[in-house]
A and B are shown apart, each in its own frame.
Chain A
Amino acid sequence: MATIKIPPVLRASVGGEREVNASGGNVGEILRDLASSHPATESQLFSAEGQLNRYVNVYLNDEDVRVLEGLETAVGDSDTLVILPAMAGG
């Protein structure tokens, strides 16, 4: 099970957790597993067409999955996914 780091704005959708575990062999499967365990996250992560929303950055460990293979990027059990929306507070 890979670890997913949950940003502050999504924590309410996962019962206040800062990190959750989810199953899957690639980024897309893991995020789908997250969305099925915590349905409130689905519309925040995915567009109506099933694509990852462009305003959500996802990193495999410290690398943006957009420069890897996107949702197809393979993920191992010891990997960490970081979900990172922009923040604008000052």
Chain B
Amino acid sequence: MSPSGAELLRQVKNQIEEIDPGVVHELIGEGIALIDVREVEEFAAGHIPGSKHVPKSYLETRIEAAVPDRDAHVVLYCQSGNRSAWAARTLVEDLGYSDVASMTGGITLWKDRGYEVEVPRALSAEQRERYSRHLLMGEVGVEGQVKLLDAKVLLLGAGGLGSPTALYLAAAGVGTLGIVDDDEVDLSNLQRQVIHTTARIGIPKVDSAEETIHALNPDVQVVKYPLRLNAENIMETITGWDIIVDGVDNFPTRYLLNDASVRLQIPVVSASILGFDGQLSIFKPYDGPCYRCLFPQPPPAELAPSCGANGVLGVLPGTMGLLQATEVVKLILGIGDPAIGRLLLYDALAATLSEVKVRRDPDCPICSRPPDSISDEEMGVFPDYEAFCAAAG
């Protein structure tokens, strides 16, 4: 005769290791992987701080993302200690984890002992549906999605690079997007600036971008700056943003941005494009090199065709802008290996992505010094460049 459910549970509990909440409380911060195996709604109602969420019904498919090391000390818990017992047996017997325990009495006993419970900010039902593909990923989940919703990202330019970046950051649920652009939509922009439309030719790019972003994702708040960055307005404009995405089309603004962002210690995800080639790097002040460490001087006009009208393959800013968006999302989530101290080089014709190392310059005129020693007068300064560009037409 088959055993009853209760009898089977007793057998399972005999086969696995159980651990008291008091012991788990001692072990937190000691390198254990604490996994909540309950349903989404239960986890959202409150869970043990530092625990990861892998619902029991998805255990087999998602545990590896949460705990890649099969010899890690894994502690599972649920509401009362039963579902976590089944899950522990699955991890040991079916998936080969070597050191797994189920917490006795679940989070109910944990709470009875007076230990802390974290109640995460809940997503609405619509948000859970909209971001469901993020929530399925161990690297994002509710916690990561809340980070994205809380993030403030400033885009310099709603042009070739800024268009795809803004679209995908908005779709990903980055909660506040700032857009700096003093231009209006022109027919010749539409070969690559995909956030704008033919019907919006002649209207300010910040307004056009806002309309597209809101149509895509009403969660996103758009802050518009219909201005051209200069030494007078840059500090006020970029203060308070978490990350800046640099897609500006000229050297003077890139140097000015560098100096101000070092002073305010805001990371800049920077890309540039020309023809069939793209470059990308993250300049994270004092953690890595700055733009002046990489390029101490701008090239003269004949080697800097961005001064004048030049061609660019329409899809290239799409590729580079989405590499920027990817780096932004990684920085917000704190995952992966960001492109700090590396310059990625994309060659569209060769279909290659290579990279070179970028070192901090110990003699850098800007980032070798403390941030508050950088004065207004020094920012964006280099020899006569604007005159040079103007002369080159």
- Residue numbers of A with Cβ under 8 A of B are 7-10, 18, 44, 53-57, 59, 62-64, 67, 82, 84-90
Contact = CB atoms under 8 A, between A and B. Distances in A.
Contacts of B296: 54-55
B277 interface: yes
Contacts of B251: 86, 88
A67 B356 contact: no
Interface in B270-317: 271-277, 279, 294-300, 302-306, 310, 312, 317
A44 B247 CA distance: 26
9 contacts: A44-B302, A44-B303, A56-B299, A59-B357, A84-B343, A87-B279, A88-B306, A89-B305, A90-B247
Given A9-B305, A88-B272, A90-B160, A64 B298 contact: no
B350 A18 contact: yes
Contacts of B354: 62
A86 B355 contact: no
Given A9-B299, A55-B297, 5 more contacts: A9-B304, A55-B298, A86-B304, A87-B273, A89-B274
Contact of A88 (B254, B317, B349, B356): B254
B312 A55 contact: no
B39 interface: no
B250 interface: yes
Contacts of A84: 343, 345, 356
A90 B249 contact: yes
A88 B303 contact: no
Contacts of B160: 89-90
A87 to B, nearest CB: 4
B353 to A, nearest CB: 13
B309 to A, nearest CB: 11
Contacts of B277: 7-8, 87
Contacts of A85: 299, 303-304
Given A8-B276, A84-B356, A89 B298 contact: no
Interface in B308-361: 310, 312, 317, 343, 345, 349-350, 354-359
B373 to A, nearest CB: 24
Given A88-B306, A89-B310, A55 B300 contact: yes
Nearest to A84: B356
Contact of A54 (B271, B297, B359): B297
B248 interface: yes
B159 interface: yes
A9 B303 contact: yes
A8 B274 contact: yes
B142 interface: no
B161 interface: yes
B274 A87 contact: yes
B173 interface: no
A89 B276 CA distance: 11
6 closest Cβ contacts across the A-B interface? A88-B306, A90-B249, A86-B295, A90-B247, A55-B299, A87-B272
